[in-house]
Structure 1
């Protein structure tokens, strides 16, 4: 079986999953831009092809009429690779709607069309107004996005395009079970929604843990230590975690908060600490 994925860049957790699939005998091919996509968040680490045991194809990104990036060469890549399954996530699956040549290539090669989604960012179809009223949308710098008539018109258009794509998709993969509730509102059968969770290579993680158990700990023993791992961007609200932790210290004076990560908020958080 050959599976063709499309990514704006390959983060380590996706690399672990793709390597695992390749180890199990799946022929994995990944299309990425030569440089990290502008669609990938600040501080997101992506890996190079040298740590992949699958094939990586680079293709130039181009902006579509919808203002999102895509890969114009996808149809020719699909004709050449003839994958059994074509897996594509946001915003690249919009290309299925905007590029008839892509639809034709998938049909003629009999490739299954599978979409990847972050389900908690997708409003149920027909409930856009109530969804955005209850779930304000911010960018990574905490600028409010869901304001003004243009935003709602644009989201209505995106919802219709998403519905078109799902109506023609053979399946979808999501990392949260809420996807089984949301995606069927876009004309995709619940049986065709597969929850992968944040799958990593568990065997590799256990191997590393076993190796580390033989080494001296970096930090002394502390029964009240909290570790936060993630990108340091405003949207993650690590500053709130630090504020809350300062209140914990009055009850547990010896408690520690360890923050592991990088990003544009690094210096601000250091000052807050």
Structure 2
């Protein structure tokens, strides 16, 4: 089976997933990505193309007449590769299928099946667009529900209308949250075409790193009150909120420390914030760490993983090293991983006092930190890992290839 992924970037974790997919199957995979930094790629995204076991084709992106990015010469490339399936990252590429119907017709003439891949985050349920936009559920790029305007609503309504037209064009949808059934289904997509797969890093690599770390000398002094955050340093990660919480917790935990792993445009503002608050000895910025063993040392030597804003696979990473998780409800992917009062706690989005409250509940109880951490580890080994993700992709591909897969299931168990 020939499968083409059309994406705005090739993140490190997804390269590893595709490598394992190639090893586990007879798939021939082509990855189409931008020749330069993708116009739809977030700041400080770590890309990696070395040692890929699949073909990578870099094409020039351009701005379409409607202002979003698409690829030049994508159709000739697909005509040459002749894929059985094309998997589009829904935003922004799936727009093109509606706004350039000639491209869509030519693509269909190749006999290619189409899959839309999305979270989906910031999608309204069709029929409730206005209600959703003006609620606190609709967030801007700074992870804030502020600054709603009527112009913004009109643009959001148009985007939702386009989704109502183009989402049903896909032969299947790969989504990362359970709410996708209701959300994507409201746009006219039959339930049997909606598949929910829990996204995952290469948990085999991370679990092996965990064993390696156990036999390495420590790189940090022991501290039962050490917090850690891993991720791109961008506004919507809300690392500033965690720094504020550290200051609030210092009277109760004088040795409290925050380790910040990552690069991004907010690095200098965050350093300035820590300096202004007198926390330079309590907040440790270590930069980007992409080697699994090195990252594992920082995680293993910390007590609690904290995510102040928008999530990502860093939650999975931390759980591979048996860490309890503190986070807010963000894009929805965290709901499968973090179970309230089981392996972590949720705090109200943007609420510093609530973040302080849940951190205090953990830091004051070292046994709970250990118990929650063990439960996090079990969720990874037993439920949500690279193998369940691969099986999920295989089942979706079998479905669109008409291989009689029992459809309409959640693909993590």
Paired residues of 1:173 and 1:194 also in contact (CA < 8 A): yes
Cα deviation for residue 54 of structure 1 reads: 1.0
Cα deviation for residue 235 of structure 1 reads: 2.1
- State the secondary structure of the residue aligned to 1:167: helix
Match for residue 256 of structure 2?
255
* 1:75 is the counterpart of 2:70: no
Match for residue 165 of structure 2?
164
Instruction: Determine the C-alpha separation between the residues in 2 that align with 1:33 and 1:193.
Output: 28
Paired residues of 2:115 and 2:174 also in contact (CA < 8 A): yes
5+ residue gaps, structure 1: none
TM-score by length of 2: 0.62
Match for residue 95 of structure 1?
96
Over 3 Å counting, the alpha-carbon distance change for 1:34 and 1:264 in structure 2 is same
Cα deviation for residue 227 of structure 1 reads: 0.8
Over 3 Å counting, the alpha-carbon distance change for 1:146 and 1:63 in structure 2 is farther
Worse overlay, 139-148 or 122-131? 139-148
Match for residue 59 of structure 1?
59
Paired residues of 1:36 and 1:46 also in contact (CA < 8 A): no
Paired residues of 2:133 and 2:153 also in contact (CA < 8 A): no
Instruction: Determine the C-alpha separation between the residues in 2 that align with 1:179 and 1:93.
Output: 17
Match for residue 114 of structure 1?
115
- State the secondary structure of the residue aligned to 1:103: helix
Cα deviation for residue 31 of structure 1 reads: 0.5
Q: 2:149 aligns with which of 138, 147, 164?
A: 147
Cα deviation for residue 250 of structure 1 reads: 1.9
CA deviation map 1:50-77 (0-9, x unaligned)? 2321110111111112210001322222
Instruction: Determine the C-alpha separation between the residues in 2 that align with 1:250 and 1:174.
Output: 43
5+ residue gaps, structure 2: 275-413
Match for residue 174 of structure 2?
173
* 1:137 is the counterpart of 2:139: yes
Cα deviation for residue 146 of structure 1 reads: 4.0
Alignment size in residue pairs: 271
Instruction: Determine the C-alpha separation between the residues in 1 that align with 2:204 and 2:106.
Output: 37
CA deviation map 1:63-118 (0-9, x unaligned)? 11221000132222222112121111110111111223432233222211111113
Match for residue 38 of structure 2?
37
Instruction: Determine the C-alpha separation between the residues in 1 that align with 2:198 and 2:273.
Output: 33
